Structure 1
């Protein structure tokens, strides 16, 4: 049996590598793919967009050439891509990996994607375009707090869980109850089974020290600007897309668009982008700690030891 075959047999059906942004996930996933002949499958909700290679720190073309990569940059920024759509794409990527005899290595920081893999996902019926457009028009006209008050009257359980300033989730919950007559929470309780059953995968969450992580986030944001992130955002802004689309809210994008409009200096826009990314990293820690207990937390400097243990089947199934 070859080393690649041994690696695939020992680790199970899949490996899941998660962690906050800038924690070193991509390097670990690539190393594992090279050692096992595996395929790297994106589980980051922003790296699916082809318009956002630099500002989302997608793998470079050289990295993608060294091992198969799937679900990176395959969606246009004008698409309101959902977790459900990602699950459908991930199921196909998983099936392709099995047919090719490759180890699927899911890597990213989007907790909902990993929860869909391991616990399943609710299936909300498609929302009619007229309902979505009406809710968004009211959001722009009346503001998020007014829509939250309306949601509290119609779906108090959902409203209670949402921040008053969370425009996107408020609009989503309201359009679901308007279109289906049921709470989004009800749909969440009824869903499709997980793509990866329990005990069929190994899962790790890279957990750097907070101060070190925040310094890396700041440095990486500056490096992305140096690599052409502002030009990338300028091309995106020129498309005049709906600002509520997910791609338009990628960390750094709204602030850099404001800079391009002359509303902010580049220094201030970069500061907002760095701060937003740090806040997101903090939320990632919280999500995985409470929602995905099956992930083993390791420090990035211990990740290669974890990888070696997985390769040699030292973890109990």
Structure 2
């Protein structure tokens, strides 16, 4: 089913934090036969509700979201697992005669869904030690020259002194007998059989988005974000390096509770970290995913997106 006209539709709604994705998704769910699938690496964690901006129970009852509350905060999730879970959810939605609407801000997950993931071999301590021993004698520029013969595409992207990446690329060739560039290219040929409509929410004025971010973080603090982190620390065996506690907001409060950062800076540090997250998300959208974009600050943005989806679904 390579012809997009014969493929079932799927909608991707992506945008930085505080860009209004949930409001748009609700509007679409009220008007079209869509089912919501979350694309959020933080909302997969149970008991992490306030700091992840997870829809409340009433909203979830009216508009069920798949791929929310999947694992405990002391467990880990991955882009590879997301792709498997998302494709299974999409197939179920399509089989029910509805349209999958994937909404969120974890851009790596969107990329993994659309392009697939390269199946690179596991690290081999023995081979790495051998490469390091050779590099100690020959130097990393010589190892880079060897890589250029085995995998010229990868070598062209690496500086001759980039020891870590040269080591990994040589390791892959020695373990698998195939180049990293070949394996990555194969991973990219895994686009799912859907006619995707990719929509992005981007702010025309970054300063206004920053105001929204500050307002939302203040609302999270007022709603009990610090108490939520304290509850998580008491309920689960967590440490600061776990993926759940590296989430924006949780990490800054954890540092205050541990005495690593002053309480007076907690709000500013949380807002700054959220702004940095939004910056990274916008970069992903603009440079890598490149969806059809709408200004999230426009008053009629919801109506415009509803109209675009209507055209796509109804032809």
Q: Does 1:203 align with 2:198?
A: yes
- Matches of 1:211 and 1:218, distance apart in 2: 11
User: Which residue pairs with 1:4 in the alignment?
Assistant: none
- Matches of 2:24 and 2:103, distance apart in 1: 9
1:274 to 267, 271, 275: 271
Judge conservation of contact 1:116–1:195 (CA < 8 Å) in 2.
no
1:34 to 21, 30, 35: 30
Please give the secondary structure, in 2, of the residue aligned with 1:107: strand
- Matches of 1:218 and 1:94, distance apart in 2: 34
Deviations 1:112-169 (A, max 9, x none): 11112222222345679xx8xxxxxxxxxxxxxxxxxx9xx899969969xx9xxxxx
**The structure with more radius of gyration:** 2
User: Which residue pairs with 1:234 in the alignment?
Assistant: 230
Change in 2 beyond 3 A, CA 1:49/1:39: same
2:281 to 266, 281, 284: 284
1:291-302 correspondence runs (5 A): 291-293=288-290, 295-300=291-296, 301=298, 302=300
- Which deviates more, 181-190 or 12-21? 181-190
Change in 2 beyond 3 A, CA 1:267/1:187: farther
Uncovered stretches (5+) of structure 2, i.e. residues with no partner: 126-139, 148-153
Change in 2 beyond 3 A, CA 1:70/1:315: closer
Change in 2 beyond 3 A, CA 1:194/1:63: same
- Which deviates more, 80-89 or 228-237? 228-237
User: Which residue pairs with 1:249 in the alignment?
Assistant: 246
TM value normalised by structure 2: 0.75
- Matches of 2:270 and 2:156, distance apart in 1: 29
- Matches of 2:283 and 2:117, distance apart in 1: 20
Uncovered stretches (5+) of structure 1, i.e. residues with no partner: 1-8, 132-149, 165-169
1:307 to 305, 308, 313: 305
User: Which residue pairs with 2:51 in the alignment?
Assistant: 55
Shift of 1:99: 1.7
How many residue pairs end up in the alignment?
275
Deviations 1:235-276 (A, max 9, x none): 233334343332121002222112112333333122111101
Judge conservation of contact 1:53–1:73 (CA < 8 Å) in 2.
no
User: Which residue pairs with 2:133 in the alignment?
Assistant: none
- Matches of 2:251 and 2:30, distance apart in 1: 36
Change in 2 beyond 3 A, CA 1:274/1:177: farther
Please give the secondary structure, in 2, of the residue aligned with 1:312: helix
Q: Does 1:111 align with 2:107?
A: yes
Shift of 1:89: 0.5
1:80 to 59, 76, 79: 76
